[in-house]
Structure 1
Amino acid sequence: MVDHDEGSEIDPLCDPEERRVLYAALDSFRQYRQAAHYNITHLRRQSFYSLPSAHMDLLASEPFSLPKTLDAVDVAIDVNADIADTVLALGLNMYGIDPESTEWHGAATSQDMDKVRSTIRQLYRDWAAEGISEREACYKPILAGLNKAFKHVTPAKRSHVSVLVPGAGLGRLAFELSNAGYAMEGNEISYHQLLVSNWILNYTSGPKSHSVYPWALGFSNHTHRSHQLQKVQVPDVWPSEELDKSCNDLQAELHAYQRMSMSSGDFCVLYKEPRYEAAFDAVTTCFFIDTAPNLIAYIETVRHCIKPGGVWVNLGPLLWHFEGGSPDKKSSSSSASSEAGRVNQDRNRGIGESGSFELADNEVIKLIEHLGFQIVEHDPVVGEAGYIQDPRSMLQNMYKPSFWMARKI
C-alpha cells in the first residue's frame, strides 16, 4: 500500500478552507455522472430534436445515426462514472466522512467539475497502455537522468537515495521511480489527483481491470466516430504486482511499500518546514515548474529540502499558468500538479502569494544558477511530447519540453 499522508499533519476537516476544498473535490466525483449526462448528451438531444424534420431524419439514418452515437456516449459516461463513484467511496472512507451526510453536497464549482473530467481523462496518459508514448517522452528522460546522477549506487541500494516528486499527479512518475528502486515521496496539492492516485495505486484489483473512455465527452476534431468512443483499460500494469516483482529483480534492501509515500499540501509551504531541510538526495519535476506564479519560491523550496550535492532533474514546457495574473484553465494542457484552488490565497499560502512573472528557458537556467545550483546538463528541446493528447485527433497540441539537471552547490 502506498501511504497517502496529510503532509501538513493537519486534519483537513478541522480547517474550514481545507474542508471546503476537499468537499468540493468529493462532490465533483459525486456529480460526475449526472452532470456529464446532462451537459454532454441531454442538451445535444434537445438540439438534435429542434432541427427541421427532414434534417433530423437524415442525421438519424445511416451512416450518421446521431441518436445511436448519443446512446453510445451515455454508455461511456456511465463507465467513467463507475470510476468516479469508486473514487468517491474511497475518499469518503479515507477522510472519515459519513456517506449519508449531505453536508458536502453542492460544494463543487464549475472548475471542480472541469477538474474531475480532466483527472479521469488523465488516466489515459498515466495508466493506459495507449499513453505510453507520452510517458516515455517525459518520464523516461527523468529516470535516465536520475540513474546517471546516481550511477555509483547499485540498484539494490537505491532505496538509500531519497527522491521528492512535487506535482505527483496520478502517481505514475512516482511509481516508476519507486519501481526502479528509489525511496520516493510524492507531493500533490489537488484532492482530485490524490483521490484518484490513491485508488489506482492501492485499490485496483489487477492489470487492465477497469475501462475508461478518455475522449467520449468531446465531439470535435474526430476523423472517425469510433475514435471518440475509444475504450482503454487501466492500469496497464498492476502497481502492487510490479513493485513486488521489481523488488525481487533488483534485490532491493527495502520493499517499495517501505519507501513510497504521498503527501498532500502546498509544496512551497510544506517543504520549507525545518523537518525537510536537506531531506532529499534528489528532486524530480515533470510539467511542474510552469505552475509557479513566482518561480523563485519553487527554487528556494527545492534548495531548502535537497541535500548539498543533491540533484534536481526537470523536464517540461513553460506554459506559465498565471500568465496575465490568473491560472491557465485549459486542463488538457495543464501540468500534473493541481489547478483547483490555486488562486485561493488562504489555502495556498506559498503558491498563492501575490506577484507573478514569466521567464524564457534560458532565463530559467540563469535564475537556477543564481540561486545556488550548478547546471550539469541542459537540452532546451529534448523531443516532442503531448499531454493527454488523442494521437488521432485533427487538432494536435505538442510540446517541445526542455530538460535539465542541476546540482545544489
Structure 2
Amino acid sequence: MSSETHQNPQTGEEESSWGGDFDPFSDPEERRVLFAAFDSFRQYRRNAHMNTTHRRRQAFYALPSAHWQMLSEPPFSILDNFNKVDDAIDVNAEIADAILAIGLQSFDLPTNPDKNNPKENWHDTATSSDVNKAHSTIRQFYRDWSLEGRTEREVCYDPVIQDLHNEFQARRDSGEEIRILVPGAGLGRLVFEVCMAGYDAEGNEISYHQLLASNWVLNHTEGTAKHALHPFALHFSNLQSRAQQLQQIMIPDVHPALAMQEMANSGRRFGTMSMSAADFTVLYTQPNNQQAFDAVTTVFFIDTAPNLIRYIETIRHCLKPNGLWINVGPLLWHFENGHSRNESEVGHEESGIGEPGNVELSEDEVLSLVERMGFRLERRPEDRRACGYIQDPASLLQNLYQPSHWVARKIPV
C-alpha cells in the first residue's frame, strides 16, 4: 500500500487525505485489513467493558459470599472500583470513536454500512488481535502525546533531534531544505518534533491503527489538553493504589496546528510534514526514492524487521551520499520464534516485510552488518539511558529498555 498526507504549516490543515495512487479498495486483502482496523476501534468500548469489568464481576461474585461482601465495603470497595473503571473505559472510548469517525470520513465510508455490500461493510471484521491493537494504540497516546510521557520521549526522541542539529543545523539556518525520513512513525510525534526543529519530515507507517490514530491527533484534536485518557485503567496488577490505576491524563500536550501557527507568527520555519502508508522496504526501494533523503531516523523500529538486511538495503537506497542513519531502540525482534506474519498489517506475503524467513541478531552483529553494508559508524554513546514503553512509573513492576543509540554515515560509492 502507498499513500501520502500533507499538512499546511500555516494553518495545520490536512491538504490531501489519503491521496496519491493509494486505493485500498482495489485489493480485497488490503480492504480487509483496513476494515478490521475500523471495526477494532468500533469494538473498543464493548470489548473493554466485557473483558475488563464484566468478567471480573463474575469472578468476584464467585467468591464465598462473606468474602465478596467484605471486599465490597470500604476501604476495599471493589465493586465501586469496577464502576469507576467502566467510567474510565467510556472516557477512553471517546478517543476510539473520534478516530473511527475521522477515518470513515476520510475514506468516504458509512457509519452503518449495508451488510450485503462487501465493499463497504466493515462491521464485525476485526479479530481479537485487531482489537488488541486498538487497545494498545489508545494507550500509546500516553507515550507520544501526553505531558506524563515526556520522560520516555526525552530518552528516545531528544537524542535524534540533537544528532540532526549536530549535522544539519548550519545548513538549515542557511535556508537549505533538509529531508528526513521517519520509518515506523507510529502516532507521528517524532515526525512532528523533526518539523518543529525546522526540517522536512516524511513519516512512514504500515499499521492502519497507527495511521488512523496519527491522522486524528495531528489534524483533528480540539486543542491542547482537550481530550482525557486513562492509560492504565484496564490493568489490575502491580498497583500501589486504585488512584494510580484510575489516573487521568490530558492529550495532546502540544496542539499541532497551534504550535505550527505560533512558529509561523514568530518567523520560524515549521518543516514540511507528510506521512506515507506503505511497507517500508517496498516503497523506499522505488526509483523515485533513490538518494531522496538527507537522514533516516529509526526509533524503536529496526527490530520489526524479519530480515534486517532488507531494511539496511532500503535505508542505503534512499539516503543521499554521506547521508546519516540515526538509530535509537532495543532489539526485541518481532518475528522471533517464527512469529506469524498474519498478525502484522501485511497484505502481500511474498514482498517487503511479508517475505519468508527471519533472523535475530545481537547488537554487535547489527553494527557489524551496518558497516559491512556500506555505512561508517560515527557515533555510539557509551552511556545508556533506560526508559519504559508506555510504562506506569508507579507500577510495582518496571519493564525498562536500554536503547541502542548510534549514528552511521552512508559511504559514497
Q: TM class, shorter-chain normalised?
A: over 0.9
Does the 8 A contact of 1:7 with 1:263 survive in 2? no
Question: 92-101 or 68-77, which moves further after superposition?
Answer: 92-101
Counterpart residue identity of residue 119, structure 1: T
Cα displacement string for residues 223-263 of structure 1 (whole angstroms, at most 9, x for unaligned residues)? 111100000000001111112223444632xx54xx10111
Q: Which residue of 2 aligns with 1:289?
A: 302
Residues in 2 aligned to 1:356 and 1:245: alpha-carbon distance in whole angstroms = 46
Cα displacement string for residues 333-376 of structure 1 (whole angstroms, at most 9, x for unaligned residues)? xxxxxx98427462672011111111111111111111111111
Q: Which residue of 2 aligns with 1:24?
A: 36
Offset at residue 53 of structure 1 (A): 1.2
SS across alignment from 1:375: strand
Cα displacement string for residues 254-284 of structure 1 (whole angstroms, at most 9, x for unaligned residues)? x54xx10111010010111111111111111
Residues in 2 aligned to 1:370 and 1:28: alpha-carbon distance in whole angstroms = 42
Aligned pairs for 1:119-158 within 5 A: 119-155=137-173, 157=175
Q: Which residue of 2 aligns with 1:78?
A: 90
Residues in 2 aligned to 1:302 and 1:38: alpha-carbon distance in whole angstroms = 44
Does the 8 A contact of 1:2 with 1:262 survive in 2? no
Instruction: Indicate whether 1:201 and 2:218 are aligned.
Output: yes
Residues in 2 aligned to 1:70 and 1:349: alpha-carbon distance in whole angstroms = 46
Q: Which residue of 1 aligns with 2:315?
A: 302
Q: Which residue of 2 aligns with 1:332?
A: none
Counterpart residue identity of residue 314, structure 1: N
Does the 8 A contact of 2:375 with 2:410 survive in 1? yes
Residues in 2 aligned to 1:296 and 1:154: alpha-carbon distance in whole angstroms = 31
Residues in 1 aligned to 2:68 and 2:192: alpha-carbon distance in whole angstroms = 50
Counterpart residue identity of residue 139, structure 2: R
Q: Which residue of 1 aligns with 2:202?
A: 185
Offset at residue 9 of structure 1 (A): 2.3
Offset at residue 302 of structure 1 (A): 0.6
Cα 1:389–1:68 change in 2 (3 A) is: same
Cα 1:104–1:242 change in 2 (3 A) is: same
Aligned pairs for 1:156-175 within 5 A: 157=175, 160-175=177-192
Q: Which residue of 2 aligns with 1:398?
A: 400
Offset at residue 380 of structure 1 (A): 5.7
Q: Which residue of 2 aligns with 1:335?
A: none
Q: Which residue of 1 aligns with 2:370?
A: 368
Cα 1:227–1:340 change in 2 (3 A) is: farther
Offset at residue 381 of structure 1 (A): 4.9
**Gaps (5+ residues) in structure 1?**
328-338
Does the 8 A contact of 2:240 with 2:395 survive in 1? yes
Aligned pairs for 1:10-409 within 5 A: 10-101=22-113, 102=115, 103-155=121-173, 157=175, 160-249=177-266, 251-252=268-269, 255-256=270-271, 259-326=272-339, 341-342=343-344, 344=346, 346=348, 349-379=351-381, 381-409=383-411
SS across alignment from 1:356: coil
Does the 8 A contact of 1:343 with 1:352 survive in 2? no
Does the 8 A contact of 1:266 with 1:348 survive in 2? no
Residues in 2 aligned to 1:274 and 1:341: alpha-carbon distance in whole angstroms = 30
In the superposition, the TM-score normalised over structure 2's length comes to 0.91
Offset at residue 100 of structure 1 (A): 2.0
Residues in 1 aligned to 2:408 and 2:262: alpha-carbon distance in whole angstroms = 32
SS across alignment from 2:175: helix
Offset at residue 48 of structure 1 (A): 1.2
SS across alignment from 1:152: helix
SS across alignment from 2:303: helix
SS across alignment from 2:126: coil
**Gaps (5+ residues) in structure 2?**
1-12, 116-120
SS across alignment from 1:44: helix
SS across alignment from 2:149: helix
Does the 8 A contact of 1:219 with 1:228 survive in 2? yes
Residues in 2 aligned to 1:234 and 1:323: alpha-carbon distance in whole angstroms = 34
Counterpart residue identity of residue 397, structure 2: L
